[in-house]
Amino acid sequence: MRYSFSNKQSGISLAILLFIIVILALLSAALVRINSQSVISNAHQVIATRAFFAAESGANFQAMRIFPLSGVSICANQNYSITSQGLAGCVAQTQCSSFNVDGRNYFQVISQGQCNIDQDFQATRTIELRLQDLN
């Protein structure tokens, strides 16, 4: 009697084992997908940060042209191709305009940084500065 009872139960362990293997495979596939999404998200974040720093660099370059240590102040649109190691492949496009309010000169600089142009991961960031001429 005992022998026939264990014979009836012999296939259940195979079904449970198959169920566990399927569940583990699904969990593994989900982890792989989460990891790949994390890698893509980090790549986007790095490109966006590089674009921000390219825009900031363009704004600083334009500010140095507006307020040079010596020479004539220049407020004109300018494009910069950045070749430094951290920002290689990035460009900064700046627009400069000047205006007068209550006898004081002000400059508005809009700098747009772009990285990885025409590639899968690309980013654009814009910075706007308003500068006052104290002279």
Q: Domain-by-domain residue ranges, the chain?
A: 2-132
Rounded-to-integer distance, Cα 39 and Cα 58, Å: 29
- Is the pTM higher than 0.85? The answer reads no
Query: For residue 117, is pLDDT > 50?
Result: yes
Tens-place pLDDT, residues 7-40: 555 678 888 889 999 999 999 999 999 998 888 8
Query: Is it the case that residue 48 has pLDDT exceeding 50?
Result: yes
Q: How far apart are the first and last CA of the chain?
A: 107
Closest Cα to residue 89, out of 49, 68, 116? 116
pLDDT digits (tens, 9 = 90+) for 76-104: 999 999 888 888 889 999 999 999 988 88
Where does 29-133 show beta strands of DSSP type E?
78-82, 90-101, 104-115, 123-132
